[in-house]
Structure 1
C-alpha cells in the first residue's frame, strides 16, 4: 500500500508540474528551470528562510491561473494539514507585510531541477520568507526535507486573522511536555535559561545532529511524556504526504523510540521566549519563538540521510554508474 501511495504522490506531482509549465510563457519557463544536470550542483543545497530573492521564477508577477498552478504543486508535496500550514505561512506573511505598509503580491521563488518527463531524478523547491519546501523525486520514492515554516507574528492580534497562531500546536505540545516533567527530568531536558536567537542548524546545507543539545531521552520519560513526544514528532512528519510520513515514522520506530531526545531552553510560560528541539539518529526537529519579544516563530524538520534526496540520488547514480571509488 505504501509503495502505491508513494507512486500516486509522484504522479500527482509530475502532473502538477506539467500543468504549471503549460500556463507559463517561455521566459517564465526559462526562469523556472535549471539545467537538467543541476541536481549535482551546489544550488540544490543552497537555501534560506530570510526575505530576499533566490534563483528561479518569482511568484510576484504570476497571474491567477499561474498562481493556482503553483498552489496545486505545493499541495501535492504535502498532506492536507501540511498544505494548510504552508499556505498559512504565506497568509501570515501577507499580514506582516501589511502591518509595515508593504504592498504588492507575494514574493516567493520556485525552481525546477531536472526533467520531470525523463527517467532520471528531478525536483523542485519553493522558497521565500518563512517558507522553504524542497522536493526530490526518483523512481524509488520522494523526499521533502529540509522543510521550514515560520510565522511572524506567531500570534496575530489584529485584523482579519486576529487570534491566529499558525504554529500553535507545535508550541503547545512541547510546552505541555516540558512543564509536565518532574524536577529531575526537567534538569536534563532544559539546557539553558536563555534560548538561542534562532534555530541552531540555521540554513546549513547539511544538518549536523552535533549542533543540538543531548536532551532527555524518550526512554527516560514517563509513559505520558513519551506519548506527548510521539505526538510532537508526528506533528512534524505529518506535514508530508501520507506514504512518506509513514515511511519516516516506521524507520524511527525501527531505530527505537528511545533514540529520540527532547531539549528545551528559555521560559516555560505562554509568551516567554523559548526554543526546543527533538533529535534522533536521522531526525532533527527545531522550533524557536524568541525574536520580537517571543512573537516570531520558526520551525524546521530535517533528516540526516534524506535531506535534498541525498539517499535517493546516491542509490540512483550507484545503480546507473556503479559504486564510485
Structure 2
C-alpha cells in the first residue's frame, strides 16, 4: 500500500521511496547523527540537539515549573542507594549532571558499562537499587523492568551463555547529587532495558527509555511464564484496526516488513526525523482515545503522578501527533509503528532474531521499543539548559 496523502512538508524523495521494497528506513526520512557511520557506532561526539524534524528544533515547548508531584521519595531512595555502596563503587557510579555519560547507553548486551552492576552488588545493595527504581517507576513499570531482566536470564539459558546474558548484567549510574533544588538523575543501562531519569525540583523527565526482549516469553527454565511487551504490541494493532480504509492509506507507509525499522535507539540522539503517517486532527474521538491509551502504555511506566503530568503535555499536542505503520495488520503480523509529536516520540518494532539463533525475517519473539522527548528535552536537557541560564554555576 502506498501513502498517497503524505503531508506536504515532507521531502519529495520520500514519496518516491515508498515504492521501493527493502527501503523502509528511507521511507521514514531519517538522517543519522553520524552520516555514513555504522548503525549504533558508539559516539556522542556531536553536541546534543535532540530529535528534530528537517524544519529544525521547535522552541518553547518545555519550561521549568512546579508540578505539585513530590520527588522526595526518589531522592531519599537514591541517597540510601549511594550510601550503601563502597567508596570505590560510588566513585565510578557518580557523574556530573551534565556529563556525556547520559548519552552512552546501549540496548545491546556487549558494550562495557560504567557504574555499579547488579552482578557485583550484595543482596542489601540490590534491595536499595530496586527501592530507587520502585520510587521512580509505577508498579507496572517496575514489574516490566524486572521481567525484562529475568528474560535476559532466559536468553542466557537458551543460548547457554550466562556470562553474556543474565538477569544481573545491568548497571546504575547517578548523575549529579540527589537534591531537592538542584538537577540530578539516574540511569539504568543494560540489554533490552535502559531508563534515563532526570529530576529538577518536582519535575521529572524520563527519556530516553528503551524496553524490549528476546524472547518475549519464557516458556521453560527458571523464569517460565514471564512475558512482556504484549500491551504495547496489542494496543498499536488495535489503533490501526480502528482506522478506516482511507485513514489506513495515510497511516501505512509500507504493508510489507522485511527487516528492523527502529530509528532512534542507542547513539541516535540527534536524528532528524520528519512526521509521517496520519495526523491526530484526522482521527475521530474513539480513535484519539485509542491513540492516548497507546501513548499512556509507555508513559505509564513512570510513577502515576508524574505520568499524569507527562500525559497532559502530550494531550496539548494531540492534534499534531502522527501515527505511522509498516507491516501487516492481522493478529499474526509483524509490524513497526511510530507515534510522533513535538513532545513525544514512540517506536515499536518486531525485530529479526539475534540469539540463540538468527533469522532473516522479523519475528514477534524479539521486540524493541523506545520513547523519547523530541526537540531537545531527552535527558531533561532543555530543562537543564534553562536552569543553567537562570542560575550561576
TM-score (norm. length: structure 2): 0.74
SS for the counterpart of 2:67 is helix
Unaligned runs of 5+ in 1: none
Say yes or no: does 1:127 pair with 2:189: yes
- Aligned-partner Cα distance in 2 for 1:246–1:164: 28
Higher helix content, 1 or 2: 1
Match of 1:22 in 2: 83
**Cα distance, 1:164–1:223 mapped onto 2, change above 3 Å:** farther
**Could you tell me how far apart the structure 2 residues matched to 1:290 and 1:139 are?**
38
2:67 alignment partner in structure 1:
3
How far 1:272 moved relative to its partner? 2.7
Query: Contact between 2:212 and 2:368, CA under 8 Å: does it hold in 1?
Result: yes
The answer as to whether partners of 1:289 and 1:297 remain within 8 angstroms in 2 is yes
> 1:132 Cα shift?
0.5
User: Does the CA contact (< 8 Å) of 1:201 and 1:211 recur in 2?
Assistant: no
Alignment of 1:123-202 (within 5 A): 123-139=185-201, 141-159=203-221, 161-162=223-224, 164-195=226-257, 196-202=259-265
Moved over 4 A (4+): 160-164
1:61-80 alignment, distance < 5 Å: 61-80=120-139
Q: Are residues 1:226 and 2:288 paired? A: yes
1:59, 1:109 within 8 Å by CA — same for their partners in 2? yes
What stretches of structure 2 of length at least 5 have no aligned partner? 1-65, 354-361
Q: CA deviation at 1:119?
A: 4.8
TM-score scaled by length of structure 1:
0.89
Change (3 A) 1:64 1:289: same
* Cα distance in structure 2, aligned partners of 1:162 and 1:213: 40
Q: Partners in 2 of 1:298 and 1:283 — Cα distance?
A: 17
Output the CA distance in 1 between the equivalents of 2:286 and 2:325: 18
> Alignment length, in residue pairs?
313
Residue 203 of structure 1 is aligned with which of 252, 256, 266? 266
* CA–CA distance in structure 1, aligned partners of residues 299 and 114 of structure 2: 28
* Aligned counterpart for 1:49 among listed residues 107, 111, 115: 107
Could you tell me which residue of structure 2 aligns to residue 303 of structure 1?
373
